[in-house]
Amino acid sequence: MAAASAIPAAEVFTYADEKIKKAAAELWPGAAVRLDHHTPSVTAYVRRLTVNGRLHYAKVSLLGLSLVSVLRGTAGDWPQVRAAQAAYQGSPGALLERETRGLAIVQEAGARACQVAGCHGGVLFTEPVAGPTLADLLAKEPHQAGELMTRAVVELAGLQRPAIARAVDEAAIIERGIGSTFDRKFNGISGPTYLRKAGQAGEALATVALRLRRLRPTPTAGHRPVVYGDLKPDHVVFPDGTDGRPVFLDPGLGRGRPQTDPAKLISRTVLHLIASSPDLVTADAMAAGIEEFADALTADLRPDERAQWLRHLVVLWLMDTTNILSTYLTCPPDLPMPEHAGKITAQAEAVCGLLENTTAGLVAGTDPRAVWRLALADVVKAANR
């Protein structure tokens, strides 16, 4: 069981609510502002609110860190965090300022993004996007998984245009990168202490993290493409159904390997699948769709290039899964988690088995194409326990 918060969540929530009310009053003087439901998240504080009856979402990020890290005391006690936050939110390049710019860049690249209503006083206000998320659609139509996942990635192709790439470099969000998050969590100094808070799964995750540190590809010296950076199935909304174009939420734009966005999308899709405990037909269909997705992205590669591409994909996928599973398992009990996060922690043993088996294959030097196929077979087994 996760340890209690070093900083009570209630104190942070009260502080964030006051920030939201103050920012809203300054953005919309005289408007009727009413706070609505808190949206559970382990990364930022998100609250629904209405401004003159119109719905918005407000987001507060503390020091660019996850809420779990802040509540665990990573950045100091509450007075220290508040003092640091006052300086942070007023400094150029704070996280939410870059996220605001990122949403505009996505639109400049020709994709659709949620509309920003304002960014003020350390609070980002966005307008809601109605419609099913990619996660919803995959759960309902697993046989369309390959097509829908491919469309989400292809829709973002405009991010590679030179002018867009230059804009991304000026507003990159490196904090959300798979590799940078993994390094913060599983370095050789604080990593073991951190994983002791993960309960029974901590030992397995320690083994997996050690293997992934060995398997992690060396930084590329050549061109690195622009990546969306936080391409989760919950961050892709289809307001007009599967026949319409998607709208993207919560970008984490930056540079990375071409496998970065597919890896995070696969990682979170697999976790949603395992959490839902589907029947065998659904699990098989989803695994086949994920394979179809990777096939579409590697169609133009030679066999040796595809093998190397899949190796990097699998390593990044497993790194992201290790990152988020450890976050969920170390979440303080007074921080509400999204519903699917609780379901994933209940299936931690199955997820750890998938991580252990796949990293063992990679460490043993097994052909990456075989590792990929075996990993997908293990996904079906883990989901259909």
Per the domain annotation, does 3 fall within a domain?
Answer: no
Are residues 150 and 51 both part of a single domain? no
Are residues 172 and 54 both part of a single domain? no
Rg (CA), the chain: 20
Q: Helix, strand or coil for residue 185?
A: helix
d(CA 110, CA 107): 5
Strand order in the sheet with 247-248: 112-113, 247-248, 236-237
Are residues 193 and 317 both part of a single domain? yes
The confidence score (pLDDT) of residue 90 equals 82
Q: Helix, strand or coil for residue 172?
A: coil
Are residues 121 and 266 both part of a single domain? no
- CB within 8 A of 38, min separation 6: which ones? 13, 45, 46, 47, 48, 336
Q: What is the DSSP letter of 117?
A: E
Are residues 92 and 150 both part of a single domain? no
Which range marks the domain in which residue 46 is found? Answer: 9-126
Does pTM surpass 0.75?
yes
Per the domain annotation, does 2 fall within a domain?
Answer: no
Cβ distance 286 to 142 under 8 Å? yes
Comparing C-alpha atoms, which of 15, 72, 14, 67 is closest to residue 43? 67
Are residues 188 and 256 both part of a single domain? yes
CA dihedral 171, 177, 180, 181 (to 10 degrees): 120
Comparing C-alpha atoms, which of 182, 156, 139 is closest to residue 251? 156
Comparing C-alpha atoms, which of 285, 274, 242 is closest to residue 341? 274
d(CA 260, CA 321): 13
Are residues 113 and 161 both part of a single domain? no
Q: Which of 93, 110, 126 is the last residue of a domain?
A: 126
Per the domain annotation, does 4 fall within a domain?
Answer: no
The token pair at 151 is 């469309």
Q: What is the DSSP letter of 90?
A: T
Per the domain annotation, does 101 fall within a domain?
Answer: yes
Are residues 349 and 222 both part of a single domain? yes
Are residues 228 and 104 both part of a single domain? no
The confidence score (pLDDT) of residue 92 equals 86
Residue ranges for the chain with pLDDT beneath 70: 1-5, 189, 220-221
Per the domain annotation, does 342 fall within a domain?
Answer: yes
How many distinct helices (H) and strands (E) make up the chain?
16, 10
Q: Helix, strand or coil for residue 239?
A: coil
Comparing C-alpha atoms, which of 205, 212, 146, 216 is closest to residue 376? 146
Are residues 370 and 259 both part of a single domain? yes
The token pair at 379 is 């996904």
Are residues 110 and 168 both part of a single domain? no
Cβ distance 179 to 255 under 8 Å? no
Read off the CATH number of the domain in which 169 is found.
3.90.1200
The token pair at 327 is 């976050």
Within a 10 A sphere around the Cβ of 245, how many other Cβ atoms? 12
Chain centroid to Cα 9, Å, comes to: 21
Per the domain annotation, does 1 fall within a domain?
Answer: no
The confidence score (pLDDT) of residue 176 equals 85
The confidence score (pLDDT) of residue 1 equals 47
Q: Which of 73, 93, 126 is the last residue of a domain?
A: 126
Per the domain annotation, does 195 fall within a domain?
Answer: yes
Are residues 32 and 121 both part of a single domain? yes
Full 3-state SS string of 360-383: HHHHCCCCHHHHHHHHHHHHHHHH
Number of structural domains found in the chain:
2
Dihedral class, residue 118 (left if φ above 0, else alpha if ψ from -120 to 50, else beta): left
Half-sphere exposure (Cβ direction) of 222: Cα atoms closer than 13 Å:
2
Q: Which of 126, 155, 190 is the last residue of a domain?
A: 126
Per the domain annotation, does 98 fall within a domain?
Answer: yes
Per residue in 85-98, pLDDT (tens digit) is 999 988 889 999 99
The token pair at 182 is 């993994």
